[in-house]
Structure 1
Amino acid sequence: MQLKTSSVLPLVLAIATGALIPGAATFAASHAAKPAVHKKPAAVAPAAAPVAGETAVAGGPPALASKAWLLMDFESGEVLASANPDEPLPPASLTKMMTSFLVEQALRSGKLKKDDLVSVSQNAWCRGSSTESCMYLPLNSQATVIDILRGIIIQSGNDASKAIAEHMAGSEEGFAKLMNAEAQRLGMTHTHFVNATGLPDPQHKSSARDLAILARAIIHDSSDYYPIYAEREFKYNGIKQGNRNALLYTDPTVDGLKTGHTQDAGYCLVTSSKRNGMRLITVILNTNSMQARADQTRSLLGWGFANFEQATPIQPNAVVATPKITFGKADTVAAGLGSPWTVTVPRGQKVSTSVQVKPDLEAPVTKGTVIGKVVAESNGKPVGEAPLVAQADVERAGFMLRLWQRVSRLFGK
């Protein structure tokens, strides 16, 4: 899948390409991983022409030399800037984000346990060629689920991915069906998985938008395991390998997610960074080198944090509407937000809100019941929405009061 390199290679590339924050080179040097496995690096492809993107910010985002790229706000899922976001492209080892996500969800639900043993079949075993990434699981051996998960995320092991696919679904083909079902559930509309690794197949595709949706789901739903995506190295079977995400070595605000590379897919990277409470997700697809994907991600993150900010449209305890209730002991109910709400907007732009209430609300209504939604807009465009919930209980009226209300409605009173 990806060429095997020493664990120090991402560090070298990160330092060579520069850091997003002051003093990052010093930060990288102080956290250098020890080299272990050495492979001849791949030849660098010719640089692609820069691709301009679409955004709501005046002046536009940086033009990036990749086939597709995207910047997403984690909190709302809003796409802040993108170029060719829905073009199905080979995702290479970014595929393994879905593989790891399914493992994480199985661990959360109890279908898998961390110390469950996974067997390594002849099909899953990696022979150590220079054309794919391996965890180097011995043939016919067993490894724990948690080690397999680290082997997938940090070492990008094809052997680990195949082994867990067979363990969970009986075969890699069966596991691909689980992957596609989960992709459909998440709303990944331009994705089709054929395998658990991302090894080339004409039918194996995903898009920048879909991969950002998947990254957001991992961060949101796999909080117990998400810290693994920030780990810089993992040693298994006596072999230490470093994470290929160069930004993990230079920018402490970056905490994931995954790299990918094949000849058809080019160099790919999905990254997440959190600064001052705001988290952004970036996707770079099909650029020409490891250095290019790191540089473009730095550029996109820097631009995103410089041009967008978080806003609080409504305070959680504010009453934003008092919709009418029929057949209740009270005629109206106070409505507001059920939890804190922030949206990400271009810096300096004002946020307006509008309330949409469900029609024909009837008692009883319980405090906390969703009775509509609040929509936030900036510069005439929707930037997020939040559930509108009842702030109090409204009991159902007695028979005579309900009868009177019906008669009053009938005569328009």
Structure 2
Amino acid sequence: MRLPISPQVRRALVALTATAVTAGAAVGPAVASGHPAKPGTATPGAPGGEAKKQPPANMSQLGGAQLGAAGDQVGPGAPALPPELSALSWVVADADTGQVLGARNAHWPLPPASTLKMLFADTVLPGVPHDASRKVGDEDLKGMGDGSSAVGIVPGQTYQVPDLWRGVFLRSGNDAVHVLAAMNGGVPKTVADMQKKAEALGARDTHVLSPDGYDTPGQVSSAYDLALFLRSGLKNKDFKAYCGTASADFPGGPNTKGKPFGISNTNRMLSGIDGVARYPGLIGGKNGYTTNAGNTLAEAAQRDGHTLVVTVMNPQENKHDKVYTEMRQLLDWGFAAAGKAKPVGTLDPPPAGTGAGKGGTVAAGSAAGSDDSGLGVLGWTGIGAAVIVAGGAGVLVLTRRKRGGSQTDAVG
């Protein structure tokens, strides 16, 4: 039997879950190094549950009924889609107008990997003073997932906030995320803040359980929501600058005798490293990879007076650069469609509860498999597990620490 739950209670339960899971994770060992992460280094992660290969039967219709339909969605006047697109989900949208020009399974809740760091930045950037600094303690790095991608933060050393953000955006450093989360009041608060921000942006497919995108059972987002996060971030000049930085120097530690070392952006479409050519007009974005999420990528680019945001989740072809190949194809397709194709939806739907409006119907459920509580894929099982962890049993911690995943944003 499904019981109706008010939005206030639902938010409280989600916050409880996030706090409990994070508290349980905090007993794990800190992971930090005095040198930058090496591209190609495998980093074991926690299993988040294998992604299903077929979209749910009842996806959200937020932003338009077509966006809740399975398969490719394009409007009249659109050019033919690129052949052999293998991603489970993707969205092409106009960042200025909010029009969704094309999509595949836009609201399919899937593991986001480090593209979730865009939501982290949307949430934390405005609240942590840009001129602040932090002397990092061991406590700041506790709770990081085993083998997390890291920029090379050293406990006992003081870091400026801009350097920490470059660690987040360029090297996808979970260590930098955790230090900034500590400056934001701690990981549990930051996770709850991120969930609140997601809801404010209309990202109702998203359930946040870690601040850095590390594989965590029940943590999901969607191609639609990732487009919302990047579009929101582009309105913040610091976010836009960081996500568009190809390389920078990072403060050194004992292993470099205090000398700064160079870091390149793991978003290879921006940095142009490892055989991936830079994309003309690219503004920037965020990439991610875990074993369970596959490759995920969000990019923004400008051409001929149009600004596009494109998101790609989990290409199925096991090729080294497939996520970048499909992103390049979809960006080219989007610029060809801009101003010509009828949109299939919008990133600016009406507020919840107002019914149909600009861009189409608002679905009653926010995610596949959701019940009347709106808890979606998190569900009652996740809440029960969170309460168990909060009570000290630690069952979920043991599950989360089980090896079998991999987080290697450096090669994403």
Fold match by TM threshold 0.5: yes
From 250, 264, 281, give the equivalent of 1:242.
Answer: 264
Q: Which has the higher contact order (CA 8 A, sep 6+)?
A: 2
Q: What CA distance in whole angstroms lies between the structure 1 residues aligned with 2:224 and 2:189?
A: 25
Q: Is the aligned partner of 1:137 residue 2:139? A: no
Which residue in 1 is equivalent to 2:172?
Answer: 156
Which residue in 2 is equivalent to 1:276?
Answer: 304
Structure 2 matches for 1:33-72, cutoff 5 A? 38-40=38-40, 53-57=72-76, 58=78, 60-62=80-82, 63-72=84-93
1:71–1:81 CA contact under 8 A, matched in 2: yes
What amino acid sits opposite 2:299 in the alignment?
T
What amino acid sits opposite 1:198 in the alignment?
G
Indicate how the Cα distance of structure 1 residues 289 and 192 shifts in structure 2: closer, same or farther if over 3 A, else same.
farther
Q: What SS is found at the alignment partner of 1:196?
A: coil
Aligned identity (percent) is: 26
Q: What CA distance in whole angstroms lies between the structure 2 residues aligned with 1:56 and 1:218?
A: 27
Q: What CA distance in whole angstroms lies between the structure 2 residues aligned with 1:253 and 1:300?
A: 14
Which residue in 1 is equivalent to 2:290?
Answer: 262
Q: What CA distance in whole angstroms lies between the structure 2 residues aligned with 1:213 and 1:133?
A: 24
Q: What SS is found at the alignment partner of 2:130?
A: coil
Which residue in 2 is equivalent to 1:217?
Answer: 232
Q: What SS is found at the alignment partner of 2:300?
A: strand
Q: What CA distance in whole angstroms lies between the structure 2 residues aligned with 1:126 and 1:66?
A: 34
From 166, 171, 188, give the equivalent of 1:173.
Answer: 188
Q: Deviation digits for residues 20-79 of structure 1, max 9, x if unmatched?
A: xxxxxxxxxxxxxxxx86344569xxxx99x95211045642352111111011012121
Which residue in 2 is equivalent to 1:226?
Answer: 240
Q: What CA distance in whole angstroms lies between the structure 2 residues aligned with 1:144 and 1:252?
A: 32
Q: What CA distance in whole angstroms lies between the structure 1 residues aligned with 2:125 and 2:145?
A: 28
Which residue in 1 is equivalent to 2:330?
Answer: 300
Measured after TM superposition, the shift of residue 174 of structure 1 is 1.4
Which residue in 2 is equivalent to 1:113?
Answer: 129
1:61–1:81 CA contact under 8 A, matched in 2: no
Measured after TM superposition, the shift of residue 131 of structure 1 is 3.7
1:119–1:163 CA contact under 8 A, matched in 2: no
Structure 2 matches for 1:180-195, cutoff 5 A? 180-195=195-210
Q: Deviation digits for residues 112-138 of structure 1, max 9, x if unmatched?
A: 322211242325449999943212110
Which residue in 2 is equivalent to 1:204?
Answer: 219
Indicate how the Cα distance of structure 1 residues 136 and 127 shifts in structure 2: closer, same or farther if over 3 A, else same.
farther
Q: What SS is found at the alignment partner of 1:90?
A: coil
Q: What SS is found at the alignment partner of 2:308?
A: strand
Q: What SS is found at the alignment partner of 1:67?
A: strand
1:128–1:136 CA contact under 8 A, matched in 2: no
Q: What SS is found at the alignment partner of 1:154?
A: helix
Measured after TM superposition, the shift of residue 142 of structure 1 is 2.2
Measured after TM superposition, the shift of residue 202 of structure 1 is 0.9
Indicate how the Cα distance of structure 1 residues 40 and 217 shifts in structure 2: closer, same or farther if over 3 A, else same.
closer
Q: What CA distance in whole angstroms lies between the structure 1 residues aligned with 2:221 and 2:192?
A: 15
What amino acid sits opposite 2:244 in the alignment?
A
Any unmatched runs of 5+ in structure 1?
1-35, 107-111, 310-344, 350-374, 383-413
With the length of structure 1 as denominator, give the TM-score of the two structures: 0.60
1:39–1:130 CA contact under 8 A, matched in 2: no
1:124–1:162 CA contact under 8 A, matched in 2: yes
Which residue in 2 is equivalent to 1:101?
Answer: 122
The CA RMSD over aligned residues, in Å, is 2.9
With the length of structure 2 as denominator, give the TM-score of the two structures: 0.60
What amino acid sits opposite 1:155 in the alignment?
R
How many residues align? The count is 270
What amino acid sits opposite 1:243 in the alignment?
N
Q: Deviation digits for residues 189-212 of structure 1, max 9, x if unmatched?
A: 100111111111012110100110
Which residue in 2 is equivalent to 1:26?
Answer: none
Q: What SS is found at the alignment partner of 1:305?
A: helix
Indicate how the Cα distance of structure 1 residues 122 and 289 shifts in structure 2: closer, same or farther if over 3 A, else same.
farther
Q: What CA distance in whole angstroms lies between the structure 2 residues aligned with 1:289 and 1:260?
A: 15
Q: Deviation digits for residues 334-377 of structure 1, max 9, x if unmatched?
A: xxxxxxxxxxx429x9xxxxxxxxxxxxxxxxxxxxxxxxx99x
Larger radius of gyration: 1
Q: What CA distance in whole angstroms lies between the structure 2 residues aligned with 1:255 and 1:234?
A: 17
Q: What SS is found at the alignment partner of 1:286?
A: strand
Q: What CA distance in whole angstroms lies between the structure 2 residues aligned with 1:115 and 1:88?
A: 37
From 63, 66, 73, give the equivalent of 2:94.
Answer: 73
Q: What CA distance in whole angstroms lies between the structure 1 residues aligned with 2:100 and 2:217?
A: 28
